[in-house]
């Protein structure tokens, strides 16, 4: 009886221990999880303080893990994470800690270190090269690299929260300069992070105050010499800095998610404006709206588009959405599904900056896209650059074979226009014909002298 009871007690203890373990460890790799890290980090810092030692923390993110996960499948992805975890384990001591905090994100905590940067960096570099050693996965030999942001306690922060925030900035920097490297946090990074925070707040306020305005750049049909469409291009009317171009704030807006609100405003404003022009009796044109990947991924994106059309009263065929190759390639099946939903609404779709991304040509034929926009970088050096001419010519014939229309962006000179015309390009957009204009100027141009549009086109011919 006693033995039986003891057995039950032991079993219960074991299962309690197992539950404890599971609560504090990641099931896939067996590494400690964030919960356990949070429970341990404060005492590790305290101990270091008492012993005049350093604690070093690193944020580690695998480079291009998603690519491997998507191409070789989740099973291989899991296996890769286990291999990486094992390799890291062999590089650290029992008193150190490796934590899996997300899909391919880890925190490494090294304790009991002398107050020497070189020592710290050498330890982390060892981990980095262990991870980067070739591995066999599903019959493929591959290599995975990682980016690390490193901080040292007490130099780079007094609390775990502060240290991790700084390690994050350092990792961000590591990614920024091309991944596959390690960055030690610096005061300069802190200043940059602070600056970025301020810019984020400023942009958020700009969204709340609606400080944006759309400019419109005409698109010309070379055959008829007529303007048939315009691209809406957003600008930020900054109270002090004046007109800020999208290149200066769209990247931040994308990173912070503010692009969703900005993009919504752009979409609604472009539809409203186009309908207002039609209501004023101007010849109907198509309005193009740039869509960022972040917007496109929103769950209710298609609903938002249809709401913008409904609220403005604009017919769907007068709206075109410009998607980029990289946006589509992030998740081809999902993108195709969304594109079909948009097509069903009656909206037109174009691929912007074509040629700069990594479109799979075999996938291209299954996209419900009605036109390709040749990127400005190919047009720019025509006729001086033979390669650019060859690429531009190839894109034009590709579009023709796939029964898509094709427009060249950034056309600035007669010589470019001549080449495009000879190569069979149907449509152009660029400073040669017109810069992007404020709504009033755009309207003035096309209301006062609709014929001038045709003249400019035929003169160009
Ligand atoms: P994009 O969609 O490729 O737009 C074309 C850019 O080329 C515009 O710059 C336009 O002003 C410029 N451009 C047009 N013709 C010429 C030319 O002949 N020569 C030269 N040198 N440039 C020309 P912009 O307005 O600064 O916009 C830059 C980018 O910002 C756009 O590239 C687009 O990717 C993004 N963007 C603009 N508006 C929006 C928006 O509402 N939403 C999103 N997500 N992105 C936007
Ligand atoms: Mg565009
Ligand atoms: Mg473009």
CA-nearest residue for atom 37, ligand 1, is 233
Distance CA 60, CA 128 (A): 9
> What is the band of 46 on the pLDDT scale with cuts at 50, 70, 90?
very high
Ligand found nearest the CA of 355: 3
| Spatial contact of 372 and 354, defined as CB atoms under 8 Å apart | yes
CA-nearest residue for atom 33, ligand 1, is 290
List pLDDT tens digits, range 294-342.
999 999 999 999 999 999 999 999 999 999 988 898 888 999 999 999 9
Model confidence at 251: pLDDT above 60: yes
Higher-confidence position of 193 and 437: 437
CA-nearest residue for atom 12, ligand 1, is 410
pTM: 0.77
Is the C-beta atom of 409 inside 6 A of ligand 1? yes
Model confidence at 460: pLDDT above 60: no
Percent of the chain with pLDDT over 70: 97
Is the C-beta atom of 355 inside 6 A of ligand 1? no
Kindly state the average pLDDT of the residues 11-40: 92
CA-nearest residue for atom 44, ligand 1, is 292
Is the C-beta atom of 326 inside 6 A of ligand 1? no
Classify residue 282 by its DSSP letter.
P
Weakest-pLDDT range from 38-52, 62-76, 88-102: 62-76
Model confidence at 144: pLDDT above 90: yes
Helices 414-422 and 386-401, interaxial angle, to 10°? 40
Higher-confidence position of 79 and 448: 79
Distance CA 174, CA 252 (A): 17
Atom of ligand 1 nearest to the CA of 324: 34
Higher-confidence position of 417 and 357: 417
Weakest-pLDDT range from 2-16, 101-115, 249-263: 2-16
Distance CA 386, CA 424 (A): 17
Question: In the numeric block, which tokens belong to residue 238?
Answer: 């900054």
Cα 290 to middle of ligand 2, angstroms? 5
Model confidence at 446: pLDDT above 80: no
Cα 372 to middle of ligand 3, angstroms? 10
User: What is the DSSP code string of 73-114?
Assistant: -HHHHHHHHHHHHHHHHHHS-TTSEEEEEETTEEEEEEEEE-
Distance CA 342, CA 331 (A): 16
List pLDDT tens digits, range 354-399.
988 877 788 888 899 999 999 999 999 999 999 999 999 999 999 9
> What is the band of 448 on the pLDDT scale with cuts at 50, 70, 90?
low
> What is the band of 458 on the pLDDT scale with cuts at 50, 70, 90?
very low
Distance CA 452, CA 402 (A): 33
Q: Which has the closest alpha carbon to 356: 340, 336, 372?
A: 372
What SS3 state is found at 411?
A: coil
| Mean pLDDT for all residues in the chain | 93
pLDDT at residue 237, rounded to an integer: 96
pLDDT at residue 357, rounded to an integer: 81
Percent of the chain with pLDDT over 90: 81
List pLDDT tens digits, range 418-440.
999 999 998 999 999 999 999 99
């Amino acid at each position: 009886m006693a033995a039986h009871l003891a057995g039950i007690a032991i079993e219960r203890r074991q299962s309690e221990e197992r539950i404890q373990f599971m609560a504090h460890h990641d099931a896939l790799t067996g590494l400690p999880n964030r919960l356990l890290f949070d429970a341990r980090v404060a005492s590790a810092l305290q101990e270091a303080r008492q012993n005049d030692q350093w604690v070093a923390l690193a944020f580690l993110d695998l480079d291009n893990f998603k690519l491997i996960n998507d191409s070789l499948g989740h099973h291989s992805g899991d296996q890769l994470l286990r291999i990486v975890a094992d390799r890291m384990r062999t590089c650290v001591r029992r008193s150190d800690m490796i934590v899996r905090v997300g899909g391919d994100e880890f925190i490494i905590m090294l304790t009991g270190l002398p107050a020497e940067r070189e020592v710290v960096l050498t330890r982390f570099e060892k981990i980095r090269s262990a991870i980067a050693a070739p591995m066999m996965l599903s019959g493929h030999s591959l290599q995975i690299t990682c980016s690390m942001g490193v901080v040292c306690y007490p130099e780079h922060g007094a609390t775990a929260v502060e240290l991790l925030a700084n390690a994050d900035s350092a990792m961000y920097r590591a990614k920024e300069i091309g991944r596959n490297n390690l960055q030690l946090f610096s005061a300069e990074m802190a200043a940059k992070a602070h600056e970025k925070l301020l810019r984020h707040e400023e942009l958020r306020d700009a969204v709340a105050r609606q400080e944006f305005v759309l400019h419109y750049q005409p698109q010309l049909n070379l055959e008829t010499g007529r303007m048939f469409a315009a691209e809406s291009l957003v600008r930020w009317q900054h109270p002090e800095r004046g007109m800020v171009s999208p290149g200066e704030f769209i990247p931040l807006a994308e990173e912070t998610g503010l692009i969703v609100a900005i993009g919504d405003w752009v979409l609604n404003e472009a539809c409203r404006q186009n309908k207002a022009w039609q209501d004023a009796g101007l010849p109907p044109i198509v309005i193009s709206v740039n869509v960022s990947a972040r917007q496109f991924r929103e769950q209710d994106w298609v609903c938002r588009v249809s709401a913008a059309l409904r609220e403005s009263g604009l017919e769907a065929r007068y709206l075109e959405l410009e998607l980029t190759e990289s946006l589509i390639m992030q998740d081809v099946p999902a993108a195709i599904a969304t594109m079909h939903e948009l097509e069903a609404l009656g909206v037109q779709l174009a691929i912007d900056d074509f040629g700069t991304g990594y479109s799979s040509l075999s996938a291209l034929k299954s996209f419900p896209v009605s036109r390709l926009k040749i990127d400005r970088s190919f047009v720019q050096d025509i006729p001086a650059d033979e390669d650019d001419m060859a690429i531009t010519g190839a894109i034009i014939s590709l579009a023709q074979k796939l029964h898509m229309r094709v427009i060249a962006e950034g056309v600035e000179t007669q010589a470019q226009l001549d080449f495009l015309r000879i190569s069979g390009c149907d449509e152009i957009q660029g400073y040669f014909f017109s810069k992007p204009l404020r709504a009033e100027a755009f309207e003035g141009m096309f209301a006062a002298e609709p014929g001038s549009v045709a003249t400019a086109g035929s003169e160009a011919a």
